Amino acid sequence: MRSVAEQLQNRMAGIKGLVDLQVERQVRIPQVQVAIDYQKAGMFGVTPAHVTETLETLLNGRVVSQIIDGNRRHDVVLRVAEADRTTEGLSKLIVETPAGRVPLSSLCSGR
């Protein structure tokens, strides 16, 4: 998309009266893809939805309680530490299943 934006910028630069033409800078965010192995998930008795909900909770966080300090309230948020947001760290995350707790790597593969 960046190359298309730059091509468009070059074409539009020739229009008289058009000033301050810029391509918005985009920050590249590293991403990890997690592919659920449906057969393995089924063997452990979990649905793909359960696995994705668990990942969403651990990565995005979920309010699990509140601390009340006088008139102030503070949310207690459950989420995985920044250091564990790597492919290796995510593979070790524990998922609750009817068959017991298993690492995410037993249910998914990451890229």
List pLDDT tens digits, range 47-92: 999 999 988 888 889 999 999 999 999 999 988 898 888 888 888 9
pLDDT computed for residue 30 by the predictor: 74
In 5-110, beta strands by DSSP E = 34-36, 62-69, 72-78, 94-97, 100-103, 108-110
Q: Is residue 23 part of a domain?
A: no
Flag whether 17 is in a domain: no
The beta-strand segments (E) located in the chain are 34-36, 62-69, 72-78, 94-97, 100-103, 108-110
Residue 14 domain-assigned (yes or no): no
Query: In whole numbers, what is the pLDDT of the chain averaged over residues?
Result: 88
- pTM given for the model: 0.61
Instruction: Say what the pLDDT of residue 111 is.
Output: 61
Question: In this structure, what CATH number is given to the domain that contains residue 55?
Answer: 3.30.2090.10
Q: 88-110 pLDDT, tens per residue?
A: 888 898 999 999 999 999 998 76
- 78, β-bridge pairs: 62
Residue 9 within a domain: no
47 domain-assigned:
yes
The residue range of the domain holding 64 is 29-110
In a domain, 22, yes or no: no
Whether residue 12 lies inside any domain: the answer is no
The answer to whether residue 9 scores a pLDDT higher than 80 is: yes
Q: What average pLDDT does the segment 12-31 reach?
A: 83
User: What is the per-residue pLDDT for 43?
Assistant: 92
Q: How many domains does the chain have?
A: 1
